[in-house]
């Protein structure tokens, strides 16, 4: 009996040692050998960058540089790249427009070369699809329009195109009250901000988790068995958001079932519910897809426009000459009436101001694509599964593309349109991306911003409060760390 136990213990110990050795070899292969092999392959083509560090890549270095940059006060300047993305600013100057960086074990070719960018973004579906989102991003927006691929993306894009067609904006003009959250609630989901308030609140908490974990490396093996507080918290929030969206969907379905409504509605939610109930499997979507699309539109629709509006108000407060020009244009076109779609198209000065705001304070921090297979772009041969990261802000602040005054607020750059401003270099200005995966809500976002700014300029002058501290901070979008404090003086005689 004793011999059997000893043999069993020896067998178990041997099995454990063999398993441990296999795991160790797997970790060394994935986290040391493969990155070093990719690094050598790309270095041999002249693509340099900060060296790969075991498991963490460049993440520790990036976080240290960010922490140092954000700890220093900055003056009231639009030259924000060194503060928001200090690693990009430093490494472009050190290694050039194309360099190799590491997000943990993941190789990233960072590029601000417009020709290479055009090649990558215009060929995104075949060779450079969007990469699978990190765990926290997937809990924030799921497998919605922003992250999904292939036929599923095409089907969901078709639904979104219908909703964000210009004509649907007429509802926005009549009901514009609580700015971005209210607008996205009403136009896309047929509800008020109060009904979606819990969803907005939970999405914001999820966004905070995403920001906290940006450029943080997950320890191999251990991360699969041990959950952090953010892991547990994000899972709980994702479940609660799903339950709330399902509740809203059930209300829509019950109204049709009881005869209270003839259809599921023509807004975005109505189209999704219709697709969910479609008997044709080719056009049907799952409940998971429906929830993910709702999360995407609730979050992306509010977050990007909110950031754009905030920075636009700031530049108008700082540059009172352009504020006066914009107000004169608004009064000439609308007078004291509410903005309308026909008039918005005529706001040339406003368009120049918004484009210059988008250039200096791009709402999207960067675009990431992953090489589906080994591929040549420009003179570079990229191995399969290498990411290409395009930091929009670095492009938009590049003196070689925009001149020595690239950091100066000059809306007149766009006087003759975007093509002329970029010298017909389409990749020089990509606040909403480009190619087949360009943001579907771009026109909606710009028209919403025009509407809000027009209504403010009709009623108030805007000046910067002495309490304002200029501190742009990278989150999912670039946001003012301490808010934007402005003074609104009424233009009304009886104010």
* pLDDT tens track, the chain, 495 positions: 557 676 677 777 777 788 778 878 888 888 899 999 999 999 999 999 999 999 899 999 999 999 999 999 899 999 999 999 999 999 999 999 999 999 999 999 999 999 999 988 887 557 776 666 666 566 655 554 444 555 554 555 554 554 444 443 334 223 333 455 666 665 556 665 566 677 778 888 888 888 888 777 776 666 666 788 888 888 898 888 888 888 888 888 898 888 888 888 777 777 778 888 888 877 787 888 787 777 777 666 677 788 888 899 899 999 999 999 999 999 999 998 989 989 999 999 999 999 999 999 988 888 888 888 999 998 999 999 999 999 999 999 999 999 999 999 999 999 999 999 999 998 899 988 776 656 656 777 888 899 889 988 998 898 888 888 999 998 888 888 888 888 888 887 544
Quick check: 453 and 314 in contact, CB under 8 A?
no
Rounded-to-integer distance, Cα 128 and Cα 259, Å? 47
What are the C-alpha distances in Å from 73 to residues 61, 69, 472?
A: 21, 9, 11
Separation of CA 197 from chain center: 21
Q: pTM of the entire structure?
A: 0.81
Rounded-to-integer distance, Cα 90 and Cα 96, Å? 10
Ranges of each domain in the chain: 1-44, 56-490
pLDDT given at position 129 = 67
pLDDT given at position 168 = 36
Residues comprising the binding site for heme? 439
Residues comprising the binding site? 439
pLDDT given at position 195 = 63
Two tokens, residue 90: 């430093």
Q: Which CATH architecture has domain 56-490?
A: Orthogonal Bundle (1.10)
DSSP H helical segments within 145-217, as ranges? 150-163, 169-175, 179-189, 193-212
Work out the burial of residue 478: count CB atoms within 10 Å of its CB; fewer than 13 is exposed, 13-18 middle, 19 or more buried.
buried
Two tokens, residue 108: 């990233």
* Among candidate residues 360, 285, 259, the one with its CA nearest the CA of residue 318: 360
Crossing angle for the helix pair 179-189 and 287-318, nearest 10 degrees? 150
Q: Enter the DSSP assignment of 221.
A: T
Two tokens, residue 425: 């270099």
pLDDT given at position 113 = 94
Quick check: 246 and 292 in contact, CB under 8 A?
no
Q: 3-class SS at 98?
A: strand
pLDDT given at position 184 = 60
Rounded-to-integer distance, Cα 446 and Cα 344, Å? 10
* Among candidate residues 328, 236, 308, the one with its CA nearest the CA of residue 477: 308
């Amino acid at each position: 009996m004793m011999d059997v136990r000893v043999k069993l213990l020896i067998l178990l110990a041997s099995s454990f040692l063999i398993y441990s050795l296999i795991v160790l070899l797997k970790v060394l292969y994935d986290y040391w050998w493969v990155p070093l092999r990719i690094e050598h392959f790309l270095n041999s083509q002249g693509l340099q960058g900060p060296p790969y560090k075991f498991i963490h890549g460049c993440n520790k270095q990036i976080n240290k540089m960010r922490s140092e940059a954000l700890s220093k006060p900055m003056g009231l300047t639009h030259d924000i790249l060194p503060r928001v993305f200090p690693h990009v600013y430093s490494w472009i100057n050190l290694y050039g427009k194309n360099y190799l960086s590491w997000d943990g074990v993941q190789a990233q070719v960072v590029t601000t070369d417009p020709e290479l960018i055009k090649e990558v973004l215009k060929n995104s579906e075949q060779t450079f699809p969007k990469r699978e989102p990190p765990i926290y991003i997937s809990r924030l927006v799921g497998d919605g329009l922003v992250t999904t691929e292939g036929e599923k993306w095409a089907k969901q894009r078709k639904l979104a195109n219908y909703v964000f067609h210009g004509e649907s904006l007429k509802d926005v003009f009549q009901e514009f009250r609580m700015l971005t959250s209210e607008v996205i609630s009403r136009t896309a989901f047929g509800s008020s901000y109060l009904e979606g308030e819990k969803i907005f609140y939970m999405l914001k908490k999820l966004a905070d988790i995403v920001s906290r974990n940006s450029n943080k490396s997950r320890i191999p093996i251990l991360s699969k068995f041990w959950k952090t507080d953010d892991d547990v918290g994000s899972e709980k929030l994702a479940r609660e958001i799903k339950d709330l969206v399902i509740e809203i969907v059930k209300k829509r379905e019950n109204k049709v079932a009881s005869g209270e409504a003839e259809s599921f509605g023509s807004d975005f939610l109505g189209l999704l519910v219709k697709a969910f109930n479609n008997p044709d499997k080719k056009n049907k979507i799952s409940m998971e897809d429906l929830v993910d699309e709702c999360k995407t539109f609730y979050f992306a629709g509010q977050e990007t426009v909110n950031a754009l509006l905030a920075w636009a108000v700031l530049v108008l407060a700082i540059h009172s000459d352009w504020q006066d020009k914009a107000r004169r244009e608004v009064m000439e076109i609308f007078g004291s009436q509410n903005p309308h779609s026909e008039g918005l198209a005529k706001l040339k000065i406003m368009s120049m101001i918004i484009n210059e705001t988008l250039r200096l304070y791009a709402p999207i921090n960067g675009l990431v694509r992953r090489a589906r297979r080994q591929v040549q772009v420009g003179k570079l041969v990229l191995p399969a599964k290498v990411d290409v990261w395009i930091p929009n802000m670095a492009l938009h602040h590049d003196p070689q593309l925009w001149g020595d005054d690239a950091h100066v607020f000059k809306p007149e750059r766009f006087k003759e349109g975007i093509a002329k401003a970029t010298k017909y270099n389409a990749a020089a200005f990509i606040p909403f991306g480009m190619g087949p995966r360009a943001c579907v809500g771009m026109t909606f976002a710009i028209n919403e911003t025009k509407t809000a700014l027009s209504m403010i300029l009709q009623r108030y002058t805007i000046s910067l409060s002495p309490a304002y501290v200029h501190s742009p901070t990278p989150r999912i979008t670039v946001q003012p760390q301490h808010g934007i404090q402005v003074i609104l003086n009424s233009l009304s005689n009886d104010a």
